[in-house]
Chains A and B, each alone.
Chain A
Amino acid sequence: MRKLIFAIIPAAMLALSCEKEIKFTGNYDGEKLVLFSLAEPGHPLSVQVRKSRFFLGERTGNPTQLLSGVTVQARSGNEEISFERDEEGVYRSSYVPSEGDHIEISASMEGFASVRAETTVPRAPEVTITRGETRLRRLRSGNDYTLEIHFKLTFHDRAGERDRYKVSMYTKNYITDDRYYAVTKADGESDPHVFYVDKTLKTKDMLLMESGTDITNLDIEERYAFFEYLEDGSFDGEDRVFDVWCESYVSEETALLPNYGLGDYEWVFDILSLSEDQYSYLVSLQKYCDSDDLASIFGEPVCIHNNVKGGIGCFGSVSGICVTLK
């Protein structure tokens, strides 16, 4: 129905309209340096620098190309950090950030405005994760099932801090497809909040039975199942429990296979605290990707968050914990 509406309105407009090329009259001050860096405790700091490209006219240059000849410098407190460019074009340092470090990065190159950015490495989140029941439930209509696995995530949020999190879940033993979703239900809320993602976890059996595709042709490394960004605005300083149900569609034939559902499930929970800029950047990027559909014709364009002064990009930081459950 939506598509029909979208089709009719532009068609009516088109019938009346005429289109003409116009000169660009906005403010454009030339190509910019594009800087990305992610500071994480325990891992050496690296920086990638590219350049942006003017959107209009004939497109030249390759914006994916890592630049050489860039002067990259950083400072954390009184410590000067130096970088060397490796064979891939990434500027790497030996500096290993710690929680609470405040780091400033600057980069300059001839022909471009100098850029700089800063971040403060957040503290790792305090989260307890426990595994609940697993059940195979028959769907209301038809003879198929869902496999439901329950986890309980308890965030012990620190009071007085504006914490931002990224929660990711995946499994090492499964390959992915497009029929998976997870439902979380926060304590005290009547309606579950449904996260719908376009990646799924399935057994090799199910995949073979459904599509008849030889799994050797599939990318088994593509393993991300579910991720979500959170802010502690509604639970600052409190313990907040999220019930996570992982549901997988299971066909009747698969469910009746011997020992189905009792295999080695190895669930990985990757929970990160994000710096404010990193959070804003990732949320805006996700919106940008989500808005790339027909409905966005009438939607607001997405501005990608940028904390690189004089340029484009993001210098953010994360601190995480990783829990694996069998």
Chain B
Amino acid sequence: MERFYRKLIFLLAALLLSLQLQAQQKYTVSGYVTDASSGEPIIGAAIIDKESSQGCITENSGFYSLSLPEGSKTLIISCLGYSDALAEIHLKGNVTLNIRLEEQLDRLSEAVVTAHTGGLGAKGTQMSAIEVPISQIKTIPAIGGEVDVIKALQLLPGVQSGTEGTAGIYVRGGGADENLLMMDGVPLYNVNHLFGFFSVFNADALKNVTLYKGNFPARFGSHLSSVIDVRMNDGNDSEYHGSASIGLISSKINVEGPIVKGHTTFNVSARRTYFDILAQPVIAYINKQNAGKDYEEKTGGGYDFYDFNAKITHRFNNDDRLSLCVYSGDDNAHVKITDKGLNEQMVWNPSTGTGTPSGIYYNYKDETRFTWRWGNFLSSLRWNHTVSPKVYMSAALSYTQYKSRLAVGVDSYSAMREGRDGDDYDISSSNGDVGYISLIDDLAGNVEFAWHPEPRHDVKFGGLYTFHTFKPGIISLKQAAGEGGKESETLLDQKVGDSPTCTHESALFIEDNWAATPWLKANVGARLSMYNVGGRAYFSAEPRVGLRALATDKLSFKASYSEMSQYIHLLCNSNVSLPSDLWVPVTRNIRPMRSRQAAAGVFYDLGKFDLSAEVYGKTMDNVLEYKDGASYLGTSTGWEEKVSQGRGWAYGLELFVQKKMGRTTGWIGYTLARTMRCFDRPGQMINDGNPFPAKYDRRHDLSMTVTHTFSRKFDLSATFVYASGNCGTIAFEEFYAYDVGGIGEAGGHDFQDGYYGVGYIPGRNNYRMPPYNRMDIGMNFYRHHKRGQGIWNISVYNVYNSLNPFMITTNVEQKWDEELHQHTSRTYLSKVSIFPVLPSFSYTYKF
């Protein structure tokens, strides 16, 4: 291993030295590309030298650097959604050139086709990645009209959704916990609200979303199956703008603008739901029915979630920018039940056989409280610095936390009373509280350098360190009681559960986007990672290679290979995302997961259309699956014994057609895939060691989304999804099973105590649910005002009311048979659907 690292370091040093030597005869033009109206940095804009066709693309901060030979140059700067810009420069030294691109004002015009020179598209080296513009995500119809980034990603090929309506995603055969979701470069552990039906990403606060399904750049790691890179808006640097939106489920507000014009910007967004507020009249009505009686039961409660995003960016000068990003989001479910009464005691009169009032009353009050809060807090401080015209640095300190807190409390009071209004005596009271907390928090630092030694090379390197703290399930118990009017005495006050576990994760990476020849480009990189837990260190070397061969100006072939390692697991085994799901680290017994993925594809740029076809093959090692009968709800202790480690493999074909411009935009994605799992190691067997399909193995997955802009005042969008059903484990057959008993009369061991009606399951995930299909439509009506724009959105989710299965259950129906004079029973399968046709509307005002 040591020899390998020595060789690697030597090779990298030689590569860097050669790049430096080559770069010495050229000059560099560098700067930032920003939006002309807002000053917002533009990610992925292309800067191309017209003469040599050499170019580069902008970083996440909008920075670019291009080294060219001395002389007069014409640079073409282009980006989708913006008008192209030309810049004439005479290079006789290094030049700083900041460029502001004008947004295409007429969104109905047939835009000039912008060639991709960046990472994506036919000309880029990056494959298995899709960038979805936030503007397009906003037009996709969604449940309750709630625009959802994750649900939009579920419509892409290679991405399987979980159970109906939930935000879980399964990328190329991976699990729900194998996706690295990052907001401005900082991981988020729980991206779900309301058990996964909504995601935490508020589209109003976002600028850009990119999904990587494979061919992972070396700067990304720590999760096996995908990277979802979500970038927040910095904020307008010259004017105040914003929007306010009111819908059936939530209201949102977004404000952005300059704090110091041209230097400091802010962008603040907030969203809150109304479930709790809408429920209040219903609760009040029920309580009113019970009021005024000797026996009174009051119920209170509700559910809500909120998101808060804020970002402040300060530009000290052209070389230094500092940005502070904060996200906070919580779900809150709470119930309070109060039960009180004043009952007059009766005296039994044996002679009359009736009770007579005694004048003595029993006064009691019981209160039960239940609160469950869970959510993320994330903050990061990022410093972007131009070290030199060719070297750009981005360093960040970040903190991210996911916490779930549950509290149940019971208070009881009882006393006797002489007369209805008498004083209480014989008082007894008690109270008990049970609390449950689980959390994971990360304190991390990372630095990344982008080095552009010459147009043929685009090098990125850096490192990161993360200090993880896991507190997987701590329960606190408190109990106190008092009798006879005495003060309550504490009977119990203790905490139980696993002690916190601290782990260290670090990584170094380097990658070079290298144009070997005009037709052959390569992205070569490596990532070295280390994870230290409980004194044991795990190392991993992860090579990453991507190749692009340009056949014609519009047609290219790509191939890639990447390896990934993952050191944390999510313990959950239900269909929905529960706040009790626990993140746990690898241990001495549970080894890190590892994946190897190879992919090849053909990409064709038809101008208005992008076409691509990719095939992939992926193997996964040390993946987890729950053993038969294992259940995890709210428990972290002994979890290692409840899981098995095994392997998995997935392969498939993905077809993707995307239209990005014109009146009609959208895409069609189709995936043909197979995902298998096998747990055949001694002591770890599941399904008797035989391979079985993964829960979300879907053979066919078709999704279409289209938006047509009829006029400036109206656009219409529609989404259609068809997918093979998920797999599940269900018994269809029953038999009489035996246990081995004690020593029988004959001296041998007998079968004893049979179990009647034991369900026979031939194998795990033996049943495939019915196919899933759904169509949604959405309409936007735009009304232009003097100071802004009003948008009415009307959307219908599941427009033809397809009752898609959320889960499959077996039910028993009993009938009375008149002829036989006995009950007969019939068992049948039924599907539970939770989202029938759901119309919704919202109104947004932009200013």
Residues of A within 8 A of B (CB): 1-2, 4-6, 8-9, 12-13, 16-26, 28, 31-32, 34, 36, 38, 40, 42-43, 48, 50, 52-59, 63-64, 162, 166, 168, 170, 223-224, 231, 233, 270, 272, 278, 280, 282, 284-285, 287-291, 295-296, 298-306, 312-314, 318, 320, 322
* B829 in contact with A24 (CB, 8 Å): yes
Residue in contact with B754 in the complex, picked from A38, A55, A64, A170, CB distance below 8 Å: A64
Q: In whole angstroms, what is the CA distance A299 to B572 when docked?
A: 9
Q: Is B736 part of the binding interface, using a Cβ–Cβ cutoff of 8 Å?
A: yes
Residue in contact with B735 in the complex, picked from A13, A168, A312, A320, CB distance below 8 Å: A312
Other A-B pairs beyond A34-B735, A298-B632, 20, CB < 8 Å: A2-B634, A4-B408, A6-B633, A18-B803, A31-B733, A32-B735, A43-B746, A43-B747, A48-B738, A55-B733, A223-B742, A231-B683, A285-B737, A288-B629, A300-B626, A301-B729, A303-B628, A303-B764, A304-B759, A306-B760
Q: How many residues of B contact A (CB 8 A)?
A: 80
Q: In whole angstroms, what is the CA distance A80 to B828 when docked?
A: 45
* B626 in contact with A36 (CB, 8 Å): no
* A26 in contact with B628 (CB, 8 Å): no
Q: In whole angstroms, what is the CA distance A34 to B731 when docked?
A: 15
Whether A301 touches B628, Cβ cut-off 8 Å, given contacts A1-B434, A223-B742, A318-B740, is yes
Whether A57 touches B826, Cβ cut-off 8 Å, given contacts A18-B832, A304-B761, A312-B735, is yes
Interchain residue pairs A-B with the least CB separation, the first 8: A299-B631, A43-B748, A287-B629, A291-B629, A302-B628, A298-B574, A303-B761, A295-B631
**Nearest CB of B to A111, in Å:** 16
- Nearest B residue to A56, CB-CB: B827
Please give, as numbers and ranges, the residues of chain B lying within 8 Å of A40 by CB-CB distance: 748-749
Please give, as numbers and ranges, the residues of chain A lying within 8 Å of B283 by CB-CB distance: none
Please give, as numbers and ranges, the residues of chain A lying within 8 Å of B629 by CB-CB distance: 287-288, 290-291, 296, 299-302
Q: In whole angstroms, what is the CA distance A16 to B806 when docked?
A: 11
* A20 in contact with B573 (CB, 8 Å): no
Q: Is B608 part of the binding interface, using a Cβ–Cβ cutoff of 8 Å?
A: no
Please give, as numbers and ranges, the residues of chain A lying within 8 Å of B682 by CB-CB distance: 162, 233
Q: In whole angstroms, what is the CA distance A300 to B626 when docked?
A: 7
- Nearest B residue to A25, CB-CB: B770
Please give, as numbers and ranges, the residues of chain A lying within 8 Å of B688 by CB-CB distance: 280, 303, 305
**Nearest CB of B to A229, in Å:** 11
Number of A-B contacts (CB under 8 A): 218
Q: Is B436 part of the binding interface, using a Cβ–Cβ cutoff of 8 Å?
A: yes
Please give, as numbers and ranges, the residues of chain A lying within 8 Å of B436 by CB-CB distance: 1
Q: Is B833 part of the binding interface, using a Cβ–Cβ cutoff of 8 Å?
A: yes
- Nearest A residue to B408, CB-CB: A1
- Nearest B residue to A55, CB-CB: B732
Q: Which of B370-427 contact A (CB under 8 A)?
A: 370, 406, 408
Residue in contact with B631 in the complex, picked from A4, A24, A296, CB distance below 8 Å: A296
* B729 in contact with A300 (CB, 8 Å): yes
Please give, as numbers and ranges, the residues of chain A lying within 8 Å of B434 by CB-CB distance: 1
Q: In whole angstroms, what is the CA distance A112 to B828 when docked?
A: 24
Please give, as numbers and ranges, the residues of chain A lying within 8 Å of B834 by CB-CB distance: 13, 16-18
Please give, as numbers and ranges, the residues of chain A lying within 8 Å of B285 by CB-CB distance: none
Q: In whole angstroms, what is the CA distance A36 to B627 when docked?
A: 25
Please give, as numbers and ranges, the residues of chain A lying within 8 Å of B739 by CB-CB distance: 282, 285
Q: In whole angstroms, what is the CA distance A51 to B833 when docked?
A: 35
* A34 in contact with B736 (CB, 8 Å): yes
- Nearest B residue to A305, CB-CB: B688
Please give, as numbers and ranges, the residues of chain B lying within 8 Å of A272 by CB-CB distance: 740, 749
Q: Is B743 part of the binding interface, using a Cβ–Cβ cutoff of 8 Å?
A: yes
**Nearest CB of A to B390, in Å:** 55
* B630 in contact with A22 (CB, 8 Å): no
Q: In whole angstroms, what is the CA distance A24 to B811 when docked?
A: 13
